[in-house]
Chain A
């Protein structure tokens, strides 16, 4: 059964009301539970849980160390292209933004790779807009072939693809795919994505199903915080995760929690999330699911990132550029969103070490992918 069937059994307003009705005793029950349910998760993200933030952080810290040890995984994005046929009201690459468009050629990809390797990275995240003709599966496959000799782990955050396309890319060496739903509010989704293939809500919603069918090792979920009520959106993320873990039990999962950042032609968030609430959400995700990876980008501030290392996140990027060619060939091209923490990977690694953690650059080996396309 596809997630769409499950999703349609829920009503946004009912879920929202249920979250905002949670009381202190629901939070305490959730904190003390042995196995935590989606109802517990609602309590942990509810306003009623804010007074329990320190307790939640302590618990999240302990659970995370037990599972992931005193380590933080390092990754870096590499933007391949800012061509895009979608209109997304919140994105710098949106079709209607009159910006110069750029797609990296082979030579440019390799010079970016060289700089990223020098920073120490072995785990790369390829990013693009959505332009199927020029930046489609063939382009990605070719890019992966070029990049694969240089990185033990290759992740991708591009437009949703079909299952056989994912299988083809997995065969080429892709291990991880991130596809964020942006918002699970179907009507609101439509207003933020009025044009392009991305405007089809259900196709995006079923992307993790297609990834699971293709046997992708790891998939990343999340919403863009600021488009809608973050609590309700996070509940649907947790619901999605729960469903996927049962359905595709051989896949790993990671969650991200990007907050809307300023960019060219940007919109004002409908609902702001405070720093305390971000901490609350990270802890809630961790307490609800002890095994899921939690990833933090350079969208957040230095102080916040320094302090989140111990609270529950498991992977972090540093030194990121969010424009194609940003590391070498087109350093001035327009970025997708503004970076908030501009410190170098080495500075971030040092901060991680100072907190008593080891920055991990390599945690995958191509040898383990000799049979990439596993039958499901």
Chain B
């Protein structure tokens, strides 16, 4: 079982709530995915409206809400948005997103580190969205992060694990859970991330934009379970062909 801060998760598939064709489709897909942690953008919801369409559809025992700060361009904006989200949604969990670049939505490492330090001090459970940067992950640990969420490739690109080498270093070194976020385009990408030892993955576009989001959500659920099972069962190492001219046979004649 995966545990982050005070919560235990039986599903290692975290999900996003954007890009769906309707809130009803979103709810059905997320229920089918088995996901227990769903991230929702503060900018999309109306926190002053108790009947907000998105929040209504996420009001289900299976889901824990993970508000995110998408749209924030610096630490100050993110901290302000986080405090508002905490008060309105009554959760101190936060997906920290700071991307001053609205084109590729690349996360700002400097502002993210600053905001994580501040938010952790204020008692938030911070899950920051970051580039797959192993040093930044260690710095975030020192700052009190609850987990790290390195990207597989750019948000919404469906390009898969372009950062695989760095994800492996992060997983090897990390003391906090590693959630691979962004770019996971197919169940096979999710399975791969789990096979290399990621603690969880976060998927949105690949489910929301598919022709059949409910079926796709189920496919991701199974892929994440399969990938985790393979990791726990320890994958056999790939066997490489032996070199034709042995380099150590001289030892026998010594």
Interface residues of A (CB under 8 A from B): 65-71, 122, 152, 218, 245, 249-252, 291, 353, 356-358, 360, 362-365, 367-371, 374
The total number of A-B Cβ pairs within 8 Å is 87
Question: Once the chains are docked, how many angstroms separate the CA of A360 from the CA of B19?
Answer: 10
In the bound complex, residues from chain A placing their C-beta under 8 Å from that of B81 are 365, 367-368, 370
The answer to whether A371 touches B77, judged by C-beta atoms less than 8 angstroms apart, is yes
Question: Once the chains are docked, how many angstroms separate the CA of A71 from the CA of B26?
Answer: 12
The answer to whether A70 touches B209, judged by C-beta atoms less than 8 angstroms apart, is yes
Given contacts A362-B46, A363-B44, 10 further A-B contacts (CB under 8 A): A65-B19, A69-B19, A122-B46, A249-B100, A249-B103, A250-B73, A358-B22, A365-B43, A367-B84, A369-B77
CB of B11 closer than 8 Å to a CB of A: no
The answer to whether A370 touches B76, judged by C-beta atoms less than 8 angstroms apart, is yes
* 16 A-B pairs in the complex with CB atoms less than 8 angstroms apart: A65-B209, A67-B156, A71-B18, A218-B102, A252-B103, A291-B102, A356-B21, A362-B46, A363-B44, A364-B43, A365-B42, A365-B71, A367-B42, A367-B77, A368-B42, A368-B77
CB of B2 closer than 8 Å to a CB of A: no
CB of B20 closer than 8 Å to a CB of A: yes
CB of B208 closer than 8 Å to a CB of A: yes
Question: Once the chains are docked, how many angstroms separate the CA of A245 from the CA of B127?
Answer: 29
CB of B72 closer than 8 Å to a CB of A: yes
In the bound complex, residues from chain B placing their C-beta under 8 Å from that of A291 are 102-104
Known: A353-B22, A368-B71, A371-B74. A362 touches B45 (CB 8 A): yes
CB of B23 closer than 8 Å to a CB of A: yes
Question: Once the chains are docked, how many angstroms separate the CA of A50 from the CA of B76?
Answer: 49
The answer to whether B103 touches A362, judged by C-beta atoms less than 8 angstroms apart, is no
Question: Once the chains are docked, how many angstroms separate the CA of A249 from the CA of B104?
Answer: 10
CB of B91 closer than 8 Å to a CB of A: no
Partner of B43 from A70, A362, A370 at Cβ < 8 Å: A362
In the bound complex, residues from chain A placing their C-beta under 8 Å from that of B72 are 368
The answer to whether A250 touches B102, judged by C-beta atoms less than 8 angstroms apart, is yes
In the bound complex, residues from chain A placing their C-beta under 8 Å from that of B103 are 245, 249, 252, 291
Question: Once the chains are docked, how many angstroms separate the CA of A70 from the CA of B156?
Answer: 13
The answer to whether B19 touches A367, judged by C-beta atoms less than 8 angstroms apart, is no
Q: Which of A122, A363, A365, A371 has the most CB of B within 10 A?
A: A365
Q: Which of A152, A360, A368 has the most CB of B within 10 A?
A: A368
Question: Once the chains are docked, how many angstroms separate the CA of A374 from the CA of B74?
Answer: 9
CB of B80 closer than 8 Å to a CB of A: yes
In the bound complex, residues from chain A placing their C-beta under 8 Å from that of B158 are 66
Known: A68-B19, A368-B42, A368-B43. A374 touches B208 (CB 8 A): no
Partner of A357 from B21, B71, B73, B205 at Cβ < 8 Å: B21
> What is the distance, in angstroms, from B105's C-beta to the closest C-beta of chain A?
9
CB of B157 closer than 8 Å to a CB of A: yes
Chain B residue at minimal CB-CB distance from A357: B21
> What is the distance, in angstroms, from B186's C-beta to the closest C-beta of chain A?
13
In the bound complex, residues from chain A placing their C-beta under 8 Å from that of B69 are 368
The 3 lowest CB-CB distance pairs between A and B, nearest first, are: A69-B19, A70-B21, A252-B102
Question: Once the chains are docked, how many angstroms separate the CA of A369 from the CA of B81?
Answer: 9
Q: Give the contacts of B154-183 with A (CB-CB under 8 A).
A: 156-158
In the bound complex, residues from chain B placing their C-beta under 8 Å from that of A71 are 18-21
**Dominant secondary structure at the B interface:** loop
The answer to whether B101 touches A249, judged by C-beta atoms less than 8 angstroms apart, is yes
Q: Which of A251, A358, A374 has the most CB of B within 10 A?
A: A358
Known: A367-B84, A368-B42, A369-B77. A69 touches B18 (CB 8 A): yes
In the bound complex, residues from chain A placing their C-beta under 8 Å from that of B101 are 249-250
Interface string of B52-92 (1 = CB under 8 A from A): 00000000000000000101111011001100100000000
The answer to whether A360 touches B74, judged by C-beta atoms less than 8 angstroms apart, is no
The answer to whether B208 touches A69, judged by C-beta atoms less than 8 angstroms apart, is yes
The answer to whether A374 touches B73, judged by C-beta atoms less than 8 angstroms apart, is yes
In the bound complex, residues from chain A placing their C-beta under 8 Å from that of B156 are 66-67
The answer to whether A69 touches B205, judged by C-beta atoms less than 8 angstroms apart, is yes
In the bound complex, residues from chain B placing their C-beta under 8 Å from that of A364 are 43, 71
In the bound complex, residues from chain A placing their C-beta under 8 Å from that of B20 are 69-71, 358
> What is the distance, in angstroms, from B59's C-beta to the closest C-beta of chain A?
18
Q: Which of B42, B84, B103, B205 has the most CB of A within 10 A?
A: B103
> What is the distance, in angstroms, from A309's C-beta to the closest C-beta of chain B?
12
Chain B residue at minimal CB-CB distance from A375: B74
Question: Once the chains are docked, how many angstroms separate the CA of A71 from the CA of B23?
Answer: 11
Chain A residue at minimal CB-CB distance from B16: A69
Q: Which of B21, B100, B157 has the most CB of A within 10 A?
A: B21
> What is the distance, in angstroms, from B175's C-beta to the closest C-beta of chain A?
32
Question: Once the chains are docked, how many angstroms separate the CA of A362 from the CA of B40?
Answer: 13
In the bound complex, residues from chain B placing their C-beta under 8 Å from that of A357 are 21
In the bound complex, residues from chain A placing their C-beta under 8 Å from that of B208 are 69-70
Question: Once the chains are docked, how many angstroms separate the CA of A66 from the CA of B23?
Answer: 18
Q: Which of B45, B77, B100, B158 has the most CB of A within 10 A?
A: B77
The answer to whether B23 touches A362, judged by C-beta atoms less than 8 angstroms apart, is no
Question: Once the chains are docked, how many angstroms separate the CA of A291 from the CA of B105?
Answer: 10
> What is the distance, in angstroms, from A216's C-beta to the closest C-beta of chain B?
12
Interface string of B180-219 (1 = CB under 8 A from A): 0000000000000000000000000100110000000000
Chain B residue at minimal CB-CB distance from A353: B22
Question: Once the chains are docked, how many angstroms separate the CA of A68 from the CA of B45?
Answer: 17
Question: Once the chains are docked, how many angstroms separate the CA of A252 from the CA of B43?
Answer: 16
